[in-house]
Amino acid sequence: MLELYHNAISTCSQKVRLVLAHKGLEFESHEIDLFGGGQHAPEYVKLNPNHVVPTLVNDGAVLIESTLINECVNDAFPEPAMLPTDPAARHGARLWLKLLDDRIHPATGVVTFAIGPRSILLRQPKEVREANTNAIPDPARRAVRRSVIERGVEAPEFAGALGTLVGLLDRMEQALPASAGWLSGEAFGLADAGVLPYVLRLDHLFITSAIEARPKVLDWYQRVQALPAFATGVAAWLTPPLVGMMRENGEAVWPEVAPIVERASGRG
């Protein structure tokens, strides 16, 4: 019996739902309202002391950290396999996961909060917004969150973070085979499920042209979106009004964002 504490739009939740869906696993859903501060509720923090989603409960075992959750799901439910069998190829797939955890996820937080839900958060009463920001346990993350909500794309952290995400697209373009092929090796796997939400987020923030400018990334993105697991694990959870609002907010700041994308492109 699987129970997932997650959020529809959260990248880390999307990557776990993609893996669960690819393996045909159903779960009892507990949606956490991140804009409303549900991640800081005392009963949730008992499960996930980092105040973040997702958390998967598998037969009473509480699993946190999306990359490690997906590894555990792949071990516990081996079919279809989502890592190659060759040790060096497994290492290659895991390098993508390490890159996501080390650099891409923090950068995505900056870019997302500077553009996407910023308008919702700025409309909240200041004391609610401050209470939710102050509840973030890590002081560095707390400071960055405050900075990007207050200053948007003008925040000092923004350009570097967006450059890191453009760098991900460039790495993918270099790594993907000329036609078809996956980041995880022969088949769609943990690296592809891990990367997808971050490419999707760029799309949702109106940074779509950076994806379209890289033919192998675009082909990979379209092939992931055609998988049944994408429909079940990602698309079914997206609410068009929220995605539409994020895209509109992205379009509004595109004049400031486009030159940063341009400068970062091809730098690796």
Ligand X SMILES: N[C@@H](CCC(=O)N[C@@H](CS)C(=O)NCC(=O)O)C(=O)O
Where do contacts with ligand X occur on this chain (CB under 6 A)?
10-12, 34, 39, 52-53, 65-67, 101, 105, 136
* Two tokens, residue 29: 């859903």
d(CA 1, CA 27): 7
Q: Residue 3 or 101: which CB sits closer to ligand X?
A: 101
* Nearest distance in Å: CB 110, ligand X: 11
Q: Residue 32 or 253: which CB sits closer to ligand X?
A: 32
Among 247, 217, 184, 172, which residue's Cα sits nearest to residue 18? 184
* Nearest distance in Å: CB 11, ligand X: 5
* Nearest distance in Å: CB 266, ligand X: 28
* Nearest distance in Å: CB 149, ligand X: 11
* Nearest distance in Å: CB 74, ligand X: 15
* Nearest distance in Å: CB 191, ligand X: 14
Q: Residue 69 or 83: which CB sits closer to ligand X?
A: 69
Q: Residue 9 or 83: which CB sits closer to ligand X?
A: 9
Q: Is the peptide bond before 80 cis (omega within 30 degrees of 0)?
A: yes
* Two tokens, residue 92: 């290659």
d(CA 264, CA 258): 10
Residue type at 160 in one-letter notation = G
Q: Residue 38 or 152: which CB sits closer to ligand X?
A: 38
Q: Residue 119 or 265: which CB sits closer to ligand X?
A: 119
